[in-house]
């Protein structure tokens, strides 16, 4: 059985909004049993579940939900969705602290339906 802090943070969200498992399931568009399995520790929340929860309840800070950093409900200092530092999507980001000879190790592509693909760099 899985039991971790994200489950506890989901319970905090449910309590904060005064939701039942059924009302949460209906509001984010998932099966009631899916939420019950998460809350009982049988399953871990999927990326799709997390993204639906954050999209439906924008006061839920993504970083707080996933790793416990930030605030809930989110404050103006912390956004519920991450922003890219400098540049825009499709552009590389570099900082003065980065190593000039470093190479990419992984690329993750997120799709609008909540799915993602991860590509590891080939080691030579």
**For the chain, what is the radius of gyration of the CA atoms?**
17
Give 3-state DSSP helix, strand, coil % of the chain, rounded to 5.
Answer: 35, 10, 55
Phi, psi values for residue 59, rounded to 5°: -75, -10
Please tell me the distance from the alpha carbon of residue 10 to that of residue 27, in angstroms, as a whole number.
14
Cα distances (Å, whole numbers) of residue 112 to 13, 18, 36: 23, 29, 25
Level-2 CATH architecture, domain 5-67: Orthogonal Bundle (1.10)
20-34 pLDDT tens trace: 999 999 999 999 999
Q: What is the pLDDT of residues 64-123, one digit of tens each?
A: 999 888 888 876 444 444 444 444 444 444 444 555 567 777 777 877 766 777 777 776
Lookup: tokens for 48 = 């799709």
């Amino acid at each position: 059985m899985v039991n971790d802090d994200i489950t506890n943070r989901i319970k905090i969200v449910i309590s904060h909004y005064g939701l039942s498992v059924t009302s949460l399931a209906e509001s984010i568009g998932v099966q009631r049993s899916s939420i019950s399995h998460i809350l009982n520790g049988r399953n871990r929340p999927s990326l799709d579940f997390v993204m639906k929860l954050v999209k439906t309840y924008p006061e839920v800070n993504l970083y707080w939900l996933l790793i416990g950093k930030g605030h809930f409900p989110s404050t103006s200092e912390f956004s519920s969705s991450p922003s890219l530092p400098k540049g825009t999507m499709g552009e590389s980001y570099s900082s003065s602290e980065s190593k000039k000879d470093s190479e990419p190790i992984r690329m993750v592509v997120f799709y609008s339906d909540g799915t993602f693909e991860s590509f590891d760099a080939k080691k030579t």
